[in-house]
Amino acid sequence: MFYHLLYPLSEDFTFFNIFRYLTFRSAAAFIVSTVFSIFIGKYFIRYMSKRQFGQIIRSEGPESHLKKRGTPTMGGVFLVGAIFISALLCGNFQNISTASFLIVLLSYFILGFLDDYLKVLKKNTDGVSGRYKLVWQFMTALTLMYFLVSSGEFDTNLYIPFYKQAIIDLKFLYVPFGAFVIVGSSNAVNLTDGLDGLAIGPIITSALTLAIFAYLAGHREFSDYLYLPYISHAGELSVMMSAIIGAGVGFLWYNSYPAQVFMGDVGSLSLGGAIGIASILTKNEVLLIIFGGVFVVEALSVIIQVVSFKTRGKRVFLMAPIHHHFELKGWAEPKVIVRFWIISLLLAIASIATLKIR
């Protein structure tokens, strides 16, 4: 809104030229989303507590989790809400990256809200079935990827972090590949969201990494110097990533151990999808495996556990996702959370370091 309403006034008032700069709007997006997340979160938690809309805790999990039963959930409503407010005020809606980001975020937000609504408000423990979730997720991702690839403005090359040039042009095969990245990222974040603050920490570090890469990829001189693919529309994603970081910080105000509110699928599915589409638009689909390593390991632990049990009748981990395995090994919940945060931060720094070894 600021960009579209105030920047045009710069022809008469030079002060408004400031709204042209990504750095200023990114900082503004961070501040706006942080403040709104903290402010709205307070009243959201109070409302959910009053209505007794609390988290359902699985009995087969660690016993220490039983005390969390009844803690307000669906915190993703005010978390993602803060991102949308920040995007409305600071974003450029004529930009294809901004539009694509918001489409995925909104679609997966609706899916997550419906799932949480059935579980929490309607007491349907199954929620939306896994099959219908995947159909919804893939339909959104495939449709968006089809329009991006068909537009002729989208780079379908696949880049590896340690190489200066693209290794292969996937052409139209990029449509299913991109959809897989978006859906995989969404579900991986959803699986990670099992402890107080566990998911939001890596989300913040991942968004920070993507904000840096988005800004560099959208800047001709920086991208040329660092051998990054120049993507004219990617820079605007630094504003969106800053909004995620700010909203995440505000959400962590209430979600840190012991949590006053949980994210719910409404938050984890939508933020995971947002990280996925941002990775695609900045050409960091492969690098996502590194800076999103915590999410990757969490998802792989579930896959390994299921495959092992179905083929050998044995479990590899005491419980999956892997954060529960460490809990059952005797690690206190705060220790698991902080150590996973540390790993996520190290992976983010390692990802940024690849800028100088291409």
User: Residue 54, SS3?
Assistant: strand
pLDDT of residue 67: 65
Between CA 288 and CA 281 the distance in angstroms is 12
H, E, C per residue of 198-216: CCHHHHHHHHHHHHHHHHH
Phi and psi based region of residue 27 (left: phi greater than 0; alpha: psi -120 to 50; beta: remaining): alpha
Band of the pLDDT at 341, cuts 50, 70, 90? very high
DSSP conformational letter for 224: H
List, for residues 281-335, the tens digit of each pLDDT value: 999 999 999 999 999 999 999 999 999 999 998 999 999 999 999 999 999 999 9
- Partnered with residue 168 across adjacent β-strands are 158
List, for residues 85-137, the tens digit of each pLDDT value: 999 999 999 999 999 999 999 999 999 999 999 988 777 777 889 899 999 99
User: Residue 225, SS3?
Assistant: helix
**Within the chain, where are the H helices?**
2-5, 22-50, 76-90, 96-116, 130-150, 174-192, 200-217, 220-225, 237-255, 265-281, 288-291, 293-312, 322-328, 333-353
pLDDT of residue 62: 62
Across 300-335, b (16+ Cβ under 10 Å) vs e yields: ebbeebeeeeeeeeeeebebbbbbbbbbeeeeebee
Phi and psi based region of residue 227 (left: phi greater than 0; alpha: psi -120 to 50; beta: remaining): left
pLDDT of residue 86: 96
CA dihedral 311→315→320→326, nearest 10 degrees, is -150
CB half-sphere exposure, 301, CA atoms < 13 A? 20
């590194």: which residue's tokens?
Answer: 290
Could you tell me which residue, 166 or 56, shows the higher pLDDT? 166
Q: Which amino acid is at 353?
A: A
- Partnered with residue 169 across adjacent β-strands are 157
Q: Which amino acid is at 301?
A: S
DSSP per-residue letters across 140-177? HHHHHHHHHHHTS-S--EE--TT-SS-SEE-GGGHHHH
CB half-sphere exposure, 219, CA atoms < 13 A? 14
Could you tell me which residue, 137 or 69, shows the higher pLDDT? 137
Phi and psi based region of residue 173 (left: phi greater than 0; alpha: psi -120 to 50; beta: remaining): alpha
Band of the pLDDT at 161, cuts 50, 70, 90? confident
Q: Please, what is the Cα angle at 210 between 19 and 75, to 5 degrees?
A: 85
CB 196 within 8 A of CB 256: yes
Band of the pLDDT at 21, cuts 50, 70, 90? confident
